Chains A and B, each alone.
Chain A
């Protein structure tokens, strides 16, 4: 194994900004992504079902 590669470990470079910056950005993205997607789906659903409930009320 190439000795240089040993230094590629991200933990050993944890103090280095380029590694922790990437970690931070990815953390933000990966945390917001599921919430955004699920939130979008739920929002769409609630909107649709409000419409449905309203229509049912009107029919009464």
Chain B
């Protein structure tokens, strides 16, 4: 079969770019509906408390107010909760407050200002309880108990809690001799690490609009990466008997990064809308509310210990990680799992003993964040590998090359590594070579200079039957519409998927439209847009739908010619058999003879793709089969100003074994964006709380994400292409990966430049200056 054009691998412009540069692309806050009411909320402002009473009488009488409610005023049952893995969350506080940003009362009014005035009229009587924000302290048996019901909540079997404690999930992984992990070790290194709480800080705040019709149908528009998860959560919580009643609509998302996966405000907005049937209830978070009232990311404190032989061969790893997951655990539990087993990085360890704890604390709930558990653990392992190199006086790059996983190894989970998993050594050596193109200046009066390179690995964390489905229809003019359930949040799926369809159908990409009107009533099922899997999983579904469409053209022709399907050749404009040809136009609605009678059928097809061979973790060993993974490597050249402490990134290199790059420019945009987020985590970002348990970093000044002036002087992106056998055109996931390495590689480079060994981030300018003055911590 001759391929059309070869659009896969080329830089076609983004499908959604025109809408976005003209301001016509619609995001949640841009949607306008008749009969719209505005919702505003009152938050607890104390991190842990019993709700004695909340008086809403005055607020209800304020002008423009339609409804005011609290958990108690609605008589909500404190044991009726929502979730996906651990059902532990009410849509609004009922008897108890578990974090300072928790919603305790809601006002629905004609206008925003009326709602805000009414909120001021609510009287609150809370009885404060001792609170805990630190995950290690919270895991202590004597810590204040945040969920008295922990252990009794409904949960899927994998996530086993420790009752009567704040630990809602403990994961343990054992491989090899897990009791005597270090029996063959000649040297041991260990340390304690901290990866603080962070915020995704997508520039678009979260929002949702909900309407209950008098027919019982529910419409929800939301800035969510997961329409079908939302449908599941809402139908479970509100006991909706038929999913045909639930219409979840998703507009464009102004960035997600995991902060808009799972669910955040949707159950509450849906609850509010139920009180005013026929009205649209709109709730868009303020920037402060994005920080205190959606989800946070990361938040890990941990301990790791590595053992090696004196020639540098790694022999064992032990780690304990505490994930500070905030007031509710459901969105955190899979991160705890992923962080638990991925902390080994891309290295071979015969013996592993790894533990990770998901811990309730009195912070905003914590969930997915680009990297999903991988940056936390790999921060520790990459720092410690440099420590081994120092201790053995070995070149750290050679030490890594010696220990990278290779063909035939069994990784920590028990998966056998094969050649098709990609080439980490190639990623690594090309990263080193790229940095070596410019020599690193020696220390001078003004600056220290540092260089380091690390490896990375990321496996997509997804449910064992995660699937993608698509509908495809050929129009009479041979343009093609493909409906998907994947969400466009900036990653470029509409473009990349059109390229995959174009190349499979052998028709120009301009003739393909990936439909972007997500509505769970009309859109085919998609598990959710997370784990960097859209190109791969939806891409595979599209290939199947395209092949099916081609087969249907042939089937129509076979009926006309009365020949076998297999003898017919399709080339994107026509089908042929021996010396006969028919154009696709003649077949697209079935073949019509001059007298009118018609053979065959219009071209309409479907495709689906389910991840295969993924299993649940074994409760005893923690081993299981997740999906396969992507390898990569990242390297940095940086300089540190001796008088100000400012760290400047001179060159940041990322190499990923991407399998196949469908659109190089879009892929590079994922790399530069991900790297910048990782640099932000290494040097700037940290969620902080005051003594009262209220968050301090609640705006984009205090929570400083990278600006243009923080950009590396030079970015390099290298793509290795070892095809993934089951990926579309060989592609594998790459979108989260560039955010994984920056913290470890930057701290390694700081140590090499200054001798100062750090185990926590961020290393702000002020902190670095302090460290330089004191010669360390």
Chain A complexes with chain B: no
Residues of A within 8 A of B (CB): none
